[in-house]
Amino acid sequence: MSTPPSENDPTRSSADVSAPPPPPDREVPESSVRREARVGRAVARLAVASVRFLAIVAAALVLAYLVSKLWVIVLPLLLGLLLATVFWPPVRFLRSHRVPAALAAIGVLLAGVLLMVGLIAALAPQVTGQAQEIADQVVAGLEDVRGFVTGPPLNLGEDAVGGAVDNVIGELQANAQSIAGRVLSGAVAAGSLLLTGLLALVLCFFFLKDGPKFLPWLGGLVGPRAEPHVSAVSRRGWATLSGFIRAQAAVGLVDAVAIGTGLAVLGVPLAVPLAVLIFFGAFIPIIGAVVTGALAALIALVTNGPTTALIVIVLVLLVQQLEGNVLQPILVGRTLDLHPAVVILAVTAGGTLAGITGAFLAVPVVAVLAVTIRYARQQLALVEPGPGAPPLAAGQPAEQAGAPAPEEQPAS
């Protein structure tokens, strides 16, 4: 007969100790008691973790709801912040040479706007001049498709093709009101986009003019205990955003020059506008390069035929291999430290929730969240102080108490 477990057994609870012993014919083996206690502790921990997970999910849903309701404010704020990371280096240079902050900010901002307007003005004549040529080639291609459908081996006949065309026209006429409504909504969306752009420029001006004052303001807002952490996370987030913009600009420039040169050599129309589109598409990692490359191949197919389109596809794939295996790991990988799968999921989720704007903003937002999580993990870790170093004080970042500094360096 087995001996009942000892009352000093750490796996037993107070209820187990105070409970009357089981009858002699129903004694529980010691291994069963230990197993039951372990299962109970595991279930309790799982329950606590589940409650915490549900609380985090509920908080995330509430935050997402608030962001969706305040999107008209959040979007210009994010765009203005990203623009500020682009314009801050020349503004900092001017301010270091004793140019007033407001004059440096407005001067650099106006120079950037004029550069963008000049780029659009330079490309517009080329696009409008070749648009008719592309349209004529598209019509000729459709005529070839119609001849293939009506002739052998399909032999559908003119009546069948005409009937299909009439059906399409009938559907367009029946839905004319909804189409007009969509056009009107598109005009409203364009006006809203213009207003968002103007507000983003205004916010960018204030970020450039008063940027160094925001950290002390945030410190006074959150209090002295949280101020060092907020300051450290803000500086690292700024460094991450700046590095992301610079890295994607370098990657986009290489893609645009390589693919644009290939398109020009092959005689594909709109080579320069396509190169500019490829440059801006690079700011949406992975997805943007695929979409712009497919567009270039489609125009080559319509205008120059399948052989040229195949060559363009091979060119785009070669450039993407160079980008994915050389440029992205060296430039973008060191800045964001995100796995490509995370980047793809972030871009897909952002595009699903907010279209092109969401796809563009997804990766910077996820990168800043990753920086925040890494900083929190560093602060929560048990850091061994160095010889003679004081213990880590509450509310003090780890790097200020002798802990090793992280890889991310704040922007100067």
Residues 206, 156, single domain; the answer is: no
Same domain, 166 and 207: no
DSSP character string of 94-128: HHHTT--HHHHHHHHHHHHHHHHHHHHHHHHHHHH
Report if residue 386 sits inside a domain. no
271 contacts 127 by C-beta, under 8 angstroms: no
Return the pLDDT at 392.
47
Q: What is the pLDDT along the chain (412 residues), one digit of tens a residue?
A: 445 544 555 555 555 556 566 555 555 566 666 777 788 888 889 999 999 999 999 998 999 889 888 888 888 888 888 889 889 989 989 988 888 988 999 999 999 889 888 888 887 777 676 666 666 666 666 566 566 666 666 555 555 555 665 565 565 555 555 545 554 455 455 567 778 888 989 999 988 888 778 877 877 777 788 888 888 888 888 888 888 888 888 888 888 888 889 888 988 888 888 888 888 888 877 777 778 888 888 888 877 888 888 998 899 888 888 776 776 666 666 666 777 777 778 888 888 887 778 888 888 888 888 888 888 888 877 554 545 554 444 444 555 444 444 444 434 3
Q: What is the pLDDT of residue 139?
A: 62
- Which residue's structure tokens are 């991310």? 408
338 occurs within a structural domain: yes
- Separation in Å, CA 104 to CA 89, 91, 95, 197, 206: 11, 6, 7, 20, 11
How many residues would you count in the chain?
Answer: 412
For residues 200 and 343, state if they share a domain: no
- Asked if residue 70 belongs to a domain, the reply is no
Residue 3 lies in a domain: no
What is the CB-side half-sphere exposure of residue 129 using CA atoms within 13 A?
Answer: 11
Buried b (16+ CB within 10 A) or exposed e, 91-101: bbebbeeeeeb
161 and 244 housed in the same domain: no
- Do 102 and 249 lie in one domain? The reply is no
Contacts of 239 (CB under 8 A, 6+ apart): 408, 409, 410, 411
Separation of first and last alpha carbons in the chain: 76
Residue 301 pLDDT: 81
Domain of 151 in residue numbering reads as 142-174
In a domain, 137, yes or no: no
Evaluate whether residue 179 is within a structural domain.
no
Identify whether 153 is preceded by a cis peptide bond (ω within 30 of 0). Answer: yes
- Grouping H, G, I as helix, E, B as strand and the rest as coil, residue 12 is coil
Same domain, 229 and 337: yes
> Are 277 and 366 within one domain?
yes
The label of the residue with tokens 């089981």 reads 22
Residue 13: predicted pLDDT: 54
State the CB neighbour count (10 A cutoff) for residue 2.
Answer: 9
Same domain for 198 and 320, yes or no, is no
Question: How many independent structural domains does the chain possess?
Answer: 4
On whether both 158 and 42 belong to a single domain, the answer is no
Q: Residue 74 falls within a domain, yes or no?
A: no
Do residues 246 and 360 both lie within one domain?
A: yes
The model's pTM is 0.65
Q: Which two tokens stand for residue 326?
A: 């050389």
On the CB side of 291, how many CA atoms lie within 13 Å of its CA?
14
Please list, in sequence order, all residues whose beta carbon lies within 8 angstroms of the beta carbon of residue 92, skipping any fewer than 6 positions away.
412
Same domain, yes or no: 192 and 255: no
Region at 395 (left for phi over 0; alpha for psi -120 to 50; beta for the rest) = left
Residue 24: per-residue pLDDT: 56
The reply to whether 72 falls in a domain is: no
**Statement to judge: residues 344 and 253 lie in one domain:** yes
